[in-house]
Amino acid sequence: MNKSITLKRSATTGRFVTKPLGKDKATKFAKVEGVTTSSKSAKTLKTYSDRGLKGNALRLAITGSFKEKKGK
């Protein structure tokens, strides 16, 4: 009994189309690789997640919070 797995490609570019991994799978990958987050990173993630940010908006907010401010 074989499973039929179809790989999806974009109609315009012909490249493979993937979907985001999600937080649970990303956490599993991080554990396997031995990557840990600092307390500051975890606090920042929780703060912006609680505000309802997701996806690109969440990533931009987090990167913006870690960038050094010019002139300081």
What amino acid is encoded at 10 in this protein? S
- Residue 72 scores a pLDDT above 60: no
pLDDT digits (tens, 9 = 90+) for 34-62: 988 888 888 998 999 999 998 889 989 98
9 near 15, Cβ under 8 Å?
yes
Distance between CA atoms of residues 50 and 62, nearest Å: 13
pLDDT digits (tens, 9 = 90+) for 9-22: 777 887 877 777 77
Q: What is the pLDDT of residue 70?
A: 64
* Assessment of whether the complete model's pTM goes beyond 0.85: no
Q: What is the pLDDT of residue 60?
A: 92
Domain ranges of the chain: 39-72
pLDDT higher at 23 or 39:
39
